[in-house]
């Protein structure tokens, strides 16, 4: 950079002349260096903002989004979740159609003093994940990479921890601009050459098969692509003849199962898992088979619903495909589920290690009885809560002079990959058992773990939550949830409630109690004790106005159904969201209070802007779906269907309003 004149703009970016700024300090900091440091700091702030404010939203979305993927090996779990979380922050429109990164830019961007740094942040919100090969090294902290899909080359500034990256390796992460170069957001995943070649071929094949623009492909398919990087696949093919069968009828049923699964799903891993499960079932039970179609159908349904729930077909559809009755399939499926529960837990941990060609199914020592917890929805909000609880214990154990020191300590521990351990109290030991129980597949073992937790620490609300979930009747469930609520009140104490009212849920140790209270409220509603349910909902919102549990979405229709229109209006004003639920209910409540009036047209306009698809469902122009979608997006048809399904009965009681809505809809459609 040339010499800076005294009347030139100062290179630090302050906007002042050099003579009035850094000349006096005798310490010129050049703009690109300043921007780089501020941009790197901004990465940390954005990530912390996302975790602090949207932990629940992130956890729920990620759990649903990756549920169809085989469980990642322990060695790669934290890495996998780190990059999936980054992808969710940048690519998932979770907040009224905006990503968390976009929301951060819109709400915090104005607080960034330097315009050039604001501009960089704005560019980050458009980024998608990168998979790139390292082509050359220009200096110790500067490399050139080439995108494996587009061939585009970029110069990348490495952060201190990444300077050992080797030429020829594949690197994965989010490349964000620093102006003249790029850098990886927070960190980068590096795959050595041999694995890089194999993974690159797989990813490029998937890209060609997807037939999508590259940015759209990366933004929508990143979890699956990342999974290819961190986990080996199951064997390409499991042949029926390679497995050991004691009776020809068992082998015949395996062929029947394989033929139908290949035809319906065309997913080799799915078929492989089904054959392994069927072989295990035969070894455990040695079934006397009269109708192979029934056993194949039941095992087929068990495999799909357990391991790949996003591909699930209904029992009726699978029953019809095999030519058996739904009731027979259901009974046999439940029997198989109970018998294979232990093995399926083990399979989640070991299925990546299976060598099916050499495996001896009669070797009892191959599987150990001491297995970990079943986690098809691993890294769910429960897993995130578990990690927060660990951090909370560390914070209580250590003495820090400031929040900055505490944050630095935690960040250092996370970066090292080694979370410090502290002794567990009986309460913490009990809660660890309960976290295991939440991820346990076997009903029997869930209940055993809950009872063990109560022996360790009687005031464990989550133990009662689990027992309530497994209760045979609503009355029994309500009793358990009430006991869980009372246990939480005893555990936390009256003083805690007084001092922390308004901050519950944010304080991690309150969550088991909040779950019990929410469960109790919902069960009361189902039992017809609606006023009592509403009272519980109101107390939940007083304890946690941020409403991480989504109680407002239950309380609002409850108010409307019970004729509490003033309270409904206040709730809508409190949580003024441009969603279908809030805007259409504002319209409905306004009519219920005042009848037909001029302002309804404005309210309808607002509702239509929030979601234009709701009206067709309310006017019965479209049928309501039988099942709720796994995901929904604000403003799209899935949100409309969910709103209509939950509120249909409230609207159908108001014939005058529906007639008005029909008339308004005609005029809107003409426009």
Same domain, 131 and 213: yes
Domain boundary residue among 230, 250, 285?
230
Find the domain containing 329 and state its range. 240-353
Q: What is the mean pLDDT of residues 48-53?
A: 87
225-229, 363-367, 418-422, 562-566, range with greatest mean pLDDT: 562-566
Q: What is the mean pLDDT of residues 367-396?
A: 53
Where does the pLDDT of residue 71 fall: very low under 50, low under 70, confident under 90, or very high at 90 and above?
low
Q: What is the mean pLDDT of residues 622-638?
A: 72
**DSSP states of 247-269:** SHHHHHHHHHHHHHHHHHH--HH
- Contacts of residue 448, defined as CB under 8 A and 6 or more positions apart, other chains included, come to none
The CATH number assigned to the domain holding 344 equals 1.10.472.10
Q: What is the pLDDT of residue 76?
A: 78
Q: Is 486 exposed, middle or buried (0-12, 13-18, 19+ CB in 10 A)?
A: middle
Do the domain assignments include residue 386? no
Q: Beta strand pairing status for 153-157 and 175-177? A: unpaired
Local structure of 5: helix, strand or coil = coil
Q: What is the pLDDT of residue 302?
A: 86
pLDDT digits (tens, 9 = 90+) for 114-156: 777 788 888 888 888 999 999 998 888 889 999 999 999 999 8
Do the domain assignments include residue 345? yes
Do the domain assignments include residue 4? no
Do the domain assignments include residue 636? yes
Same domain, 184 and 106: yes
d(CA 249, CA 246): 9
Is the pLDDT at 329 greater than 60? The verdict is yes
Same domain, 225 and 248: no
Q: How many domains, the chain?
A: 3
Q: What is the pLDDT of residue 482?
A: 96
Do the domain assignments include residue 649? yes
d(CA 258, CA 238): 10
**DSSP character at residue 4:** P
What integer best gives the mean pLDDT of the chain?
A: 80
Same domain, 214 and 253: no
Do the domain assignments include residue 420? no
d(CA 224, CA 206): 10
Domain boundary residue among 353, 374, 399?
353
Local structure of 131: helix, strand or coil = strand
Same domain, 531 and 642: yes
Do the domain assignments include residue 435? no
d(CA 13, CA 26): 16
Q: What is the pLDDT of residue 7?
A: 66
Same domain, 33 and 148: yes
Same domain, 267 and 196: no
The CATH number assigned to the domain holding 654 equals 1.25.40.10
Same domain, 557 and 610: yes
Q: CB 535: neighbour CB atoms within 10 A?
A: 13
Same domain, 160 and 77: yes
Task: Output the six-digit token pair for 188.
Answer: 């980068």
Domain boundary residue among 333, 353, 373?
353
Where does the pLDDT of residue 555 fall: very low under 50, low under 70, confident under 90, or very high at 90 and above?
very high
Cut 0.85: pTM above it: no
Do the domain assignments include residue 495? yes
- Which run of H or of E encompasses 206? helix 193-210
Same domain, 583 and 553: yes
Residue 615 dihedral angles phi and psi, to the nearest 5°:
-55, -40
Same domain, 190 and 331: no
CB–CB of 172/83 below 8 Å? yes
Greater confidence, 395 or 346?
395
The CATH number assigned to the domain holding 65 equals 2.40.50.140
Same domain, 534 and 664: yes
């Amino acid at each position: 950079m040339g010499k800076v004149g005294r009347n030139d703009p100062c290179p630090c970016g302050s906007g002042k002349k050099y003579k009035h700024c850094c000349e006096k300090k005798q310490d010129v900091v050049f703009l690109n260096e300043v921007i780089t440091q501020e941009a790197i700091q901004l990465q940390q702030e954005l990530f912390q903002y996302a975790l602090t404010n949207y932990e629940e939203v992130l956890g729920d979305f990620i759990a649903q989004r990756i549920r169809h993927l085989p469980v990642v090996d322990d060695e790669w779990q934290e890495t996998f979740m780190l990059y999936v979380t980054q992808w969710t922050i940048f690519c998932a429109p979770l907040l009224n159609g905006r990503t968390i990164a976009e929301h951060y830019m819109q709400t915090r961007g104005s607080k960034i003093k330097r315009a050039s740094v604001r501009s960089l942040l704005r560019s980050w919100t458009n980024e998608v994940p990168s998979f790139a090969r390292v082509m050359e090294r220009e200096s110790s902290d500067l490399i050139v990479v080439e995108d494996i899909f587009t061939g585009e080359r970029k110069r990348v500034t490495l952060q201190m921890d990444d300077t050992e990256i080797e030429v020829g390796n594949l690197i994965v992460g989010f490349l964000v601009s620093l102006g003249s170069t790029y850098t990886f957001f927070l960190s980068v995943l590096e795959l050595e050459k041999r694995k890089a070649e194999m993974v690159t071929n797989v990813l490029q094949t998937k890209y060609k098969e997807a037939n999508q623009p590259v940015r759209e492909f990366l933004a929508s398919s990143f979890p699956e692509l990342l999974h290819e990087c961190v986990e080996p696949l199951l064997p390409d093919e499991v042949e029926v003849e390679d497995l050991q069968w004691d009776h020809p009828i068992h082998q015949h049923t395996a062929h029947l199962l394989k033929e139908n699964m290949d035809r319906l799903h065309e997913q080799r891993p799915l078929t492989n898992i089904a054959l392994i499960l069927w072989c295990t079932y035969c070894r455990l039970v040695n079934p006397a088979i009269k109708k192979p179609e029934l056993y194949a159908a039941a095992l087929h349904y068990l495999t799909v619903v357990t391991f790949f729930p996003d591909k699930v077909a209904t029992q009726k559809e699978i029953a019809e495909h095999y030519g058996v009755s739904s009731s027979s399939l259901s009974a046999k499926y439940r029997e198989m589920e109970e018998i294979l529960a232990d093995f399926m837990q083990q399979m989640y941990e070991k299925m990546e290690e299976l060598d099916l060609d050499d495996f001896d199914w009669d070797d009892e020592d191959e599987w150990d009885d001491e297995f970990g917890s079943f986690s098809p929805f691993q890294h769910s909000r429960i897993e995130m809560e578990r990690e927060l609880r660990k951090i909370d214990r560390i914070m209580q154990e250590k003495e820090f002079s400031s929040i900055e020191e505490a944050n630095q300590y935690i960040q250092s521990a996370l970066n090292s990959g080694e979370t410090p351990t502290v002794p567990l109290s009986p309460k913490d030991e009990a809660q660890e058992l309960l976290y295991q129980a939440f991820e346990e597949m076997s009903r029997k073992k869930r209940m055993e773990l809950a009872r063990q937790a109560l022996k360790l620490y009687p005031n464990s609300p989550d133990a009662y939550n689990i027992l309530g979930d497994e209760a045979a009747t609503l009355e029994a469930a309500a009793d358990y949830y009430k006991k869980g609520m009372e246990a939480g009140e005893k555990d936390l104490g009256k003083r805690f409630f007084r001092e922390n009212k308004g901050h519950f849920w944010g304080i991690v140790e309150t969550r088991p109690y909040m779950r019990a209270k929410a469960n109790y409220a919902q069960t009361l509603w189902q039992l017809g004790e609606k006023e009592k349910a509403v009272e519980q909902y109101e107390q939940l919102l007083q304890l946690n106005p941020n409403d991480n549990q989504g109680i407002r979405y239950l309380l609002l229709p409850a108010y409307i159904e019970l004729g509490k229109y003033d309270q409904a209006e206040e709730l809508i004003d409190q949580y003024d969201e441009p969603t279908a639920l809030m805007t259409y209910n504002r319209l409905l409540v306004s009519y219920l209070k005042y009848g037909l009036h001029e302002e309804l047209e404005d309210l309808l306009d607002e509702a239509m802007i929030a979601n234009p698809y709701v009206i067709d469902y309310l006017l019965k122009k479209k049928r309501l779906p039988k099942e709720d979608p796994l995901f929904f997006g604000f403003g799209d048809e899935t949100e409309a269907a969910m709103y209509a399904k939950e509120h249909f009965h409230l609207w159908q009681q108001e014939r005058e309003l529906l007639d008005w809505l029909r008339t308004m809809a005609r005029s809107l459609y003409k426009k």
